[in-house]
Chains A and B, each alone.
Chain A
Amino acid sequence: MSTKPKKRIPPGGAKLSPEEIERKSREHLAGGRFRDAIDGFKQLLKREPRPDWRFALADAYAGRARELNAKGMLREALVMWENRASLGKDIAFEPEQATLLLRLGRPEPVCALLTAGAALPPAEAERLRTLLAARLLAGDAVIAERLAPEDPVRRHAAPALAALVAYCAGDETGLRAALTALPFRSPYRDWVQILKALQCLPESHREATELLGRVGEDSAFAAIKRAAELALLPEPRFLEAIHDAGKPQRTSKSAVRFACALRGWSPERIALWEEIDRLGRDAQPIALLRLLHRHRDRLGANWVRQRNLRLLIRDYPASLKSLLAVGAVKANPLEARLVAAWYAEQSKDPWDVLDGWENYARDLSGARAPADLTPDERLRIALALRRADRFGRVLDRPEPSDDPDDLDARVAELVEESLRWDPDDRDLTLRLLHYYRRGKRTKDVRRLLDQASERWPQDPRVLSAAMDAALDAGAFKKAAGLASRILAVDSINTEVREHLVAAHLAHARKQLLKGRADLARKTLDEADTWARGGHAREQLDLTSGLIAVIEHADAAILRETVARLGGGLATQAALVLAGDAVRLPPLKLFKQVMLPKFVHQGRDDLLAALARLRTHLDGGGKLSRELDAYFTKSLGSAPWTQLSRSDLESACETLRRCGFHKLRQSVADIALKQWRGAPVFELHAFEAKYPKGFSGRPNRDLDRLEDALAQAREEGDMRTALRIKEIFDALNPFGFGGPLGASPFGFPFDDDDDGDAGDVSDEMATDALVMMLRMAGLEKTMNILGFPPDIKRQLKRMARQIGEPAVIEKLIELFSHARDGTLPDFSDLSDFFR
């Protein structure tokens, strides 16, 4: 405890004028520096007993008393109150002093205030009586003896105590009778409200809350009110509120025990909570492991085992030893695989996730045939094999890769394998089917579709997928037949209707291109019977108009349709796209139809035009080269600055899908003027500027992209970060050094103009890499250097095949070749390792 300085007024303070001392002391008082204020006002009072200085000193004593009270220095606080009281009878008595006296077990002075016939204001007397009533209920029976027989604290004590006894005993009748005996104007009034509130529980929380709300925060019974309110909190908030009980600024232990008892917690439950709470919020896994293991009999051995395994994730693989350290059985190989897979998920690297769960699935199946496994085991294997897709939504990629070694292709392979273990997952079957369709993997589509059709012959979604596949293959009649089958069982299926109309439209266009306008018109008539939505009708009208233009040079129908659609950018887009589908270039079309110039009609019109482009692409529509130039010109002057950030992001994405690179770049630049350095627009600007991929030496654009990558990571925009990282990975397939290495290893000094210095640096860099590999091992080195996932995967696979030491030696050999400029010719990393 710190000692009180003898003198708080600075040296020379005695020489200050009274006005100066008063000014400073009042500043101390206002600033909560009560000890300085006390010193100052005491000095002033020595010079002259002015009442205003006396009252100010009283305020300073009260402030200091409260300060000490808050620190738990109750006796010291009482001294301050007593000093304050000694300043004169005109200093009003503060109930806080009475509270403190009662807390210190000295009710006599408080009782004396009520018995001596002192002229206490009624409100103050009432307040003191409430304090004494609460204290009396707490067990200080002596209080009653020290009060006059007619004092309400004494007169009402018996029913108040009876009410407490009846409540605790669950005697509802006795409680009601005792509460009735307490008049409204009683020092026990708040006590009555509290007991009535507790009586409502647990049936009516609302009524209880209302009754507790009638008890003031400064009431002598407020501690019970707060504890009861605490008990009424919902479970998660309750646990949060009772956390760290008894510590400064936290709920008192008494309040927590009271609330827990009210909520029906047994003493054992409270004890377990206190044990958990002692571990703290960020408990170390080992501490939790110990606690769980200690209570495994009550918690259930299997449940504890499962939770314990999850606690090993953070410090895996070292954590595997923790089980033994707490007395649990060590993890078996399958459990260790499971923890490894969870750990891989923490890394967020999709290849690690894939490897982790594939390893688990292989270990679980062992060399056993499916028939030798239990249904649950088969399902577990299936779930593990499809986890990489679930985790990263890999099969959602709009443009599947055609390289079987790419992530999505590998994931698709595992997902299809998983369907052999669990063939009943219809959603997943369809998901994989759509993935194959997007990747134009016709054979895979057909194979999977055959299996699905056999298993779910009448399922509308399977039929719909079959129809989509037929459309992909240009089998329009077959698609129409399938659509009819779907509509026979699900007549309000608008999606299928749209597909059906789209199929007819596509067929009509095909016929038109073959010069069979008659057949095209017939097909459109058939489509007309299925068309319901505005979009379908619009497409039919536009195509009919185009047939008339091509066949008879009659533009009337088309002009009428354009007029009905309202002109503007959106109508222009619809017309141009429809014309493009029958190989009518925009300029030729406008010349034939003789339409007035389209004028943009603001933000909504622009968004509608973009939406039409998206719908066209979503429906599998193609875009000819002429459209790029045409839209770049016509949309170049559109009101892009009126779009919101999310609209612009979506617009850039649409333009990327359209392949309108120039327009996309200018839109991204417009967005960057408003959101300077925004990663997503930096990405669009870069990709649009280098549509065929970046090549050449590092430049300012790469620097900006690198900054954007850092910013995206900082902002948690992992999608953009991943996309930018993919660009860098493509630039630097080995993942060493900076984003663009001149050699496959991208040593930091590759760009150095001084040839000798570069040689020395290469030497040093190679040595450092070799040392790192030997000391840290393969996995850590790959992580530190940020190897691209596919390289990591290949190296890990090789390590499994030929052993990690062999892979390290081969890598070192590879570095040496690269440094010496004698890199052998190999197309794939695995070729070098053979």
Chain B
Amino acid sequence: MRDPYLILGVPDDADDTAIEAAYLEGIKRCPPERDADGFQALRTAYEALRTQRDRLAYALFETAPPEPADLLDRAFPLGRSGAFDTAWGRPEPALFAALLRGGD
């Protein structure tokens, strides 16, 4: 299971209000009709953290090891761009050249 705090983009000490606000903001970005997987992930994260009891239960009983995506998002989070999940980048010309040369 992905770290629900990272999915919702809230700090570890977020309270009920912050969690709900992040969830509502999230579903604007990932409405179920446009991004079913994204919405499901948000929903799961929200349900895991909705109340203080839920958050403590998550802290006590969730034992899955961290996922690579959790480590990446926590250490070097991706920026957000407007209504979109992340700010995309533009590869350098050298990266184009490497692919066009057929190198590894």
Is B33 engaged at the interface, CB distance under 8 Å to the other chain? no
Give the interface segment out of A377-385, A700-708, A774-782, A800-808. Answer: A377-385
Contacting pair B84 A276 (CB below 8 A) = no
Scoring B residues 25 to 48 as 1 if CB is less than 8 Å from chain A, else 0, what string do you get? 000000000000110000000000
A202 CA / B60 CA spacing, docked (Å): 38
With A239-B69, A269-B75, A288-B65: A168-B100 Cβ-Cβ less than 8 Å: no
Contacting pair A264 B79 (CB below 8 A) = yes
Q: Which of A563-580 contact B (CB under 8 A)?
A: none
A134 CA / B101 CA spacing, docked (Å): 8
Complex contacts, A313 vs chain B, CB 8 Å: 63
Scoring A residues 296 to 320 as 1 if CB is less than 8 Å from chain B, else 0, what string do you get? 0011101100110011010000000
Which of the residues A246, A258, A306 comes within 8 Å of B104, measured between beta carbons?
A246
Contacting pair A299 B74 (CB below 8 A) = yes
Please name 14 pairs of A and B residues whose Cβ atoms are closer than 8 Å in the assembled complex, sorted by A: A135-B100, A221-B100, A234-B37, A254-B104, A255-B99, A258-B95, A264-B78, A264-B79, A272-B75, A276-B68, A298-B74, A310-B63, A311-B65, A383-B61
Complex contacts, B79 vs chain A, CB 8 Å: 264
Nearest-neighbour CB distance to chain B for A565, whole angstroms, equals 44
A221 CA / B86 CA spacing, docked (Å): 26
Smallest CB-CB separation from A281: which chain B residue? B68
Complex contacts, A383 vs chain B, CB 8 Å: 53, 56-57, 60-61
With A168-B91, A202-B84: A258-B96 Cβ-Cβ less than 8 Å: yes
Q: Which of B46-86 contact A (CB under 8 A)?
A: 52-53, 56-57, 59-61, 63-66, 68-69, 71-72, 74-76, 78-79, 81, 84-86
Nearest-neighbour CB distance to chain B for A456, whole angstroms, equals 17
17 new A-B contacts, CB < 8 A, other than A202-B87, A272-B71, A272-B75, are: A168-B90, A202-B88, A227-B99, A234-B37, A261-B90, A262-B89, A264-B89, A272-B76, A291-B71, A292-B71, A295-B71, A298-B75, A310-B64, A379-B52, A380-B56, A383-B56, A390-B61
Smallest CB-CB separation from B53: which chain A residue? A379
Contacting pair A203 B84 (CB below 8 A) = yes
Is A164 engaged at the interface, CB distance under 8 Å to the other chain? yes
Interface size range of chain A in the complex: 35 or more
Which of the residues B53, B61, B75, B76 comes within 8 Å of A422, measured between beta carbons?
B53
Smallest CB-CB separation from A135: which chain B residue? B100
Q: Which B residues lie at the A interface, using CB under 8 A?
A: 12, 37-38, 52-53, 56-57, 59-61, 63-66, 68-69, 71-72, 74-76, 78-79, 81, 84-93, 95-104
Smallest CB-CB separation from A276: which chain B residue? B68
Complex contacts, A252 vs chain B, CB 8 Å: 103-104
A794 CA / B98 CA spacing, docked (Å): 68
Q: Tell me the interface secondary structure of chain A in the complex.
A: helix
Nearest-neighbour CB distance to chain A for B97, whole angstroms, equals 4
Nearest-neighbour CB distance to chain B for A200, whole angstroms, equals 10
Complex contacts, A139 vs chain B, CB 8 Å: 97, 101
Complex contacts, B75 vs chain A, CB 8 Å: 268-269, 272, 295, 298-299
Complex contacts, A268 vs chain B, CB 8 Å: 75-76
Nearest-neighbour CB distance to chain B for A598, whole angstroms, equals 49
Which of the residues A261, A266, A376 comes within 8 Å of B91, measured between beta carbons?
A261
A170 CA / B97 CA spacing, docked (Å): 18
Q: B63, B71, B76 — which one has the most chain A CB atoms within 10 A of its CB?
A: B71
Is A265 engaged at the interface, CB distance under 8 Å to the other chain? yes
Smallest CB-CB separation from A103: which chain B residue? B102
Contacting pair A307 B65 (CB below 8 A) = yes
Scoring A residues 250 to 292 as 1 if CB is less than 8 Å from chain B, else 0, what string do you get? 0011110110011111101100110011000000010010011
A302 CA / B84 CA spacing, docked (Å): 30
Which of the residues B64, B71, B78, B96 comes within 8 Å of A299, measured between beta carbons?
B71
Smallest CB-CB separation from B86: which chain A residue? A264
Contacting pair A272 B72 (CB below 8 A) = yes
Which of the residues A254, A263, A379 comes within 8 Å of B103, measured between beta carbons?
A254
Q: B88, B90, B91, B97 — which one has the most chain A CB atoms within 10 A of its CB?
A: B91
With A235-B69, A239-B69, A299-B71: A261-B102 Cβ-Cβ less than 8 Å: no
